[in-house]
Amino acid sequence: MTLPHPFNGRRAAIATMHGKEGAVSPVLSRWLGLHVERAEGVDTDALGTFTGEIARAGDMVEAARAKALLAIERTGASIGLGSEGAFGPHPVVPFLASGVEAIVLVDAENNHEIVAQRRTRTNYGFVTATPEEDFTPFLGRIGFPAHAVIVRPEACDDLFVVEKGVTDLRVLRAAVAGMSRRSSSGRALVQTDMRAHLNPTRMKTIHFVARALALRAARLCPACGAPGFGLVDVARGLPCAGCGAPTRKLLAELHGCRVCGHQEAKRQRAPSMRADPMWCDLCNP
C-alpha cells in the first residue's frame, strides 16, 4: 500500500483573472489530489500587467508568490498558487522571442513552497504601423485573431492610452488609425496581448509548467517526506581526458529538500568518465 500524497484532499486557491485555473487545476487534482479553486475578487492586474501601465515589483517568482499569498488570504485555503510570465527577445538567439513562465505553490500550513519555472516558446512580438501600411504579415506570424493584440501610440507620455484584447481586424484597423493620431511619431504600436485567456500559446505553456510543478511536488523527500524533492544545484568538475584537471562539465546533479535540507547526488558520472579537452580551461583556454 502506498500512502496518499501529503497534498491529497487539501484545498488550494489560484489567483487569476485570465482563466489559468483551467490549465493548472486538472493536472494538480489528478496527480496530487489537490482541490484547486479560483480565488474570486483578486485583481492580479494590480500586481503588474503585460502592457506596462503598472511597473512590476520584484522578479517573476516573487510576483507569482505575491499572487499565491493573496489567494490564500482571500479564500482561507491553506495552499495558494500564483503564475507569472515574462516575455522578450531571446537572451542568446537573436531575432527570436522567448518567454519564461513560473508557477509558485505556497503551503502556508507547513511554511513550504514549490517553484516550477521554464523557458518556453512564445509568439511574443510587436510591430509599428500607420493605417496605410500592411501589417498583416505580423498578424499571420503571431496567430491573430486566435491570439489577441494590444494597440497603443508608439510615442506617447500617457501609458494608459491603450486598447487591449483586440481580436477583430476592423477594430484593429480603427485602433491603429486612432493610436497613430495620438502618437508624436505618427505611428501605432501593435503587440501581442500576453494575457493567458487571449493567448492560447501561453495557456498551453502554463499547462506545461503546471505539469512540471505537479511532477516536482509528487516527489517526496526521502528523509522527511515533504513534497517537492528535486534538482537544486549541479556539481561541475568532470576530469579532463587530456590533463585530468577539473572541467566545467557536469559531475552530478544535486537533488534537495527545501524543508529539512537533505541532499542527494543523482545522475553521477562514472568514475572512469572524462571530459573532452575542449571543455578544459588548461587544454583549451
Residues that bind Zn ion (CB under 5 A): 221, 223-224, 226, 240, 242-243, 257, 259-260, 262, 277, 280, 282-283
- Minimum distance from residue 244 beta carbon to Zn ion (Å): 7
| Sole residue written with cell 527545501 | 258
CB of 46 or CB of 243, closer to Zn ion? 243
Angle between helices 200-218 and 21-32 (to 10 degrees): 20
Q: How far apart are CA 265 and CA 251, in angstroms?
A: 9
Q: Distances from the Cα of 204 to the Cαs of 13, 23, 48, 86, 101, in angstroms?
A: 20, 7, 22, 15, 11
Q: How far apart are CA 210 and CA 218, in angstroms?
A: 12
CB of 100 or CB of 226, closer to Zn ion? 226
- Minimum distance from residue 115 beta carbon to Zn ion (Å): 16
How remote is the C-alpha of 126 from its chain's centroid? 20
- Minimum distance from residue 226 beta carbon to Zn ion (Å): 5
- Minimum distance from residue 22 beta carbon to Zn ion (Å): 32
- Minimum distance from residue 251 beta carbon to Zn ion (Å): 15
Q: How far apart are CA 229 and CA 213, in angstroms?
A: 11
CB of 268 or CB of 284, closer to Zn ion? 284
Q: How far apart are CA 84 and CA 117, in angstroms?
A: 9
- Minimum distance from residue 221 beta carbon to Zn ion (Å): 3
CB of 59 or CB of 281, closer to Zn ion? 281
Q: How far apart are CA 142 and CA 135, in angstroms?
A: 11
CB of 52 or CB of 242, closer to Zn ion? 242
CB of 76 or CB of 244, closer to Zn ion? 244
Q: Could you count the other beta carbons within 10 Å of the beta carbon of residue 84?
A: 25
